[in-house]
Amino acid sequence: MNTQAISHRLRQHQHQDLAIKEAFLRFQAHHFDKPWERLLETFIEQEGHVPFFPTPYDVSEELVAFLSQGDQPFEHLGAYAYHFAQAGLRQIPQLTPFEKDMVVLVATYNLAVYCQLLDQQGSYHGVSLKRLVSQMEQVDFINVSKVANNLADRISRDLDLFILNYEAPTTPKPELTFETTDQDLVAHYGQPVARLDKTSLLVAHLPAYQDLPLGIKAEIITQFDQKKAELSQVNQEETVRFEEVDNVVTAYLTNQAEPLSSYDRRLGKSQHYEAYEHLNLTQKFAILSHYDELAKLERPLQFRLGDFDEERRQTPIYEGETIFTYLEADGSADELAREPGSQELAELVDLSRQLLARNYQLLEEAGFPIEDFPESSRGVLLDAVGKYRLPKEELLYLG
C-alpha cells in the first residue's frame, strides 16, 4: 500500500475503513511532529505500530505550572488548546465549525499521548480514540488531521521549552529538633514524629515517622539511644557489673555473688535468673543494653547492594536472597519490606551513601563535579547517570 492509497482510504466514509482510521489516529499521536507525507510513509513502513513508553515520565507538576501561566489559567490541555487555536482557526475558512472543534479534540488527544496523560480507559478529560474515530466520520479526515498535528506540534514545542527551563518552587526542608518535657523527649521534623518516655525509656513512633528518610530516622535513634544511656547512668557502674568466662557474660549486682542474667556470645542467646525479676527498670536496661552492644559486635552484615534493576531503574538492597527495598539514584529508599532495627537502619544508611558516592564518582569521571552545580540540579544529574545510565556524550549535552 502506498501513500496515495492510504490517503484515499482516510478520505472515504466507508465502514470498512474505520479500522485503518483508528490505527492512523493512534499512530499520528506519536508522530504528529512529522510532515504529512513523511507521516504517511512512516505509517506504512512501521505498519501502524506505535512505540511503547517503558518508563512513565510524570510532568504533572510542570503541566500545572504551564497551564497556570498568565492571567487566565486553564484546567487541562484541552482548554488550553482550544484557546490557543482560535486565532489560527479563524484564518482557515475552508473548515466548518464542527471541523474546527475536531481539530482541537485531535490535537488534545495527541498532546495527552505525548505527555502520557491517558487514564486506564485511554481517555483524557473526555477525549478518547474511540470518540475521535466516531466523530471523524463527519469531517474531512486529512484536513482536520493536518491542522490538528500542526497545532499539537506548536503547543508541544512551547511545553517542552517551558519544562526545560522550569524550576519547581523550593520548599524549605524541615529541621530535625528535639523538645524535652518533664515526661518525654520529643523528636520534631516539621511535626512530632517520635517520643521517648523518660520514665519507662520506651519509644513511641508517631504516624509521620514511617515516611521519614532513613538518615533522619538514624539521627532520631542515635539521639534517643544517647538519652537512654544518660537516664540509665544513675549509679549504673555501681549497681551492675559483668564478668565473662568461656564466652559467657554474666551480670551481677555490685558486691553480690548471685547472678542476675547471662549472655552466651557464641549462641547469641540470653538467660534471665530469678533475681533479675526483682531489678528496677534502669538496672534491667543496663543489662539488656550491654547484651545488645555485644550482639552488634558479632552480628554479620544484614544487607547488601544488588545489581542495577534495568526494568525498575533502581538498585535493590537484598536481605539474604530477598529484596528488602530499592534505592533511587540519589540514595533515597523506596518502600521497605519491614521496619528496620537500629543496627539494620545504620547498615541501610551506609549502603545508601555508598550508592550516592558511586554516582557522584561517575559524574566526576564524566566531567561533572557535583559541587559545581546548584542543589536544585543535582537530582537531574544523578538520575541521568544512576537511573537512566546516559553515556558521556549525552551527559555533556545535558550539562
- Over residues 191-202, the pLDDT tens digits come to 999 999 987 889
Q: Which triple of cell numbers denotes residue 181? A: 518535657
Per-position DSSP letters for 149-184, written without gaps between them: HHHHHHHHHHHHHHHHH--PPP-PPP-EEEEE-SSE
Report CA 33 to chain centroid distance, whole Å: 30
Cα(261)–Cα(274) distance, integer angstroms: 9
Cα(272)–Cα(275) distance, integer angstroms: 8
Give the per-residue pLDDT at 375: 79
Cα(171)–Cα(177) distance, integer angstroms: 18
Bridge partners for 270 per DSSP: 263
Give the per-residue pLDDT at 286: 87
The closest of 337, 328, 303, 334 to 317, measured between CA atoms, is 303
**Residue 48, phi-psi category: left (phi > 0), alpha (psi -120 to 50), beta (remainder):** left
Give the per-residue pLDDT at 10: 87
The closest of 89, 87, 105 to 141, measured between CA atoms, is 105
CA distances from 202 to 197, 205, 391, 394 (A): 5, 10, 51, 52
Cα(18)–Cα(55) distance, integer angstroms: 31
Segments of the chain scoring below 50 in pLDDT: 235, 237
Cα(331)–Cα(334) distance, integer angstroms: 10
The domains of the chain are located at 3-165, 232-294, 303-398
Give the per-residue pLDDT at 298: 64
> Using an 8 Å Cβ cutoff, are 339 and 370 in contact?
no
Give the per-residue pLDDT at 234: 53
- How do beta strands 240-245 and 203-205 pair? unpaired
The closest of 274, 297, 311, 60 to 163, measured between CA atoms, is 60
The closest of 219, 221, 190 to 205, measured between CA atoms, is 221
Give the per-residue pLDDT at 54: 58
Q: Using H for helix, E for strand and C for coil, what is the string for 344-370?
A: HHHHHHHHHHHHHHHHHHHHHHCCCCH
User: Residue 141 class from Cβ within 10 Å (0-12 exposed, 13-18 middle, 19+ buried)?
Assistant: buried
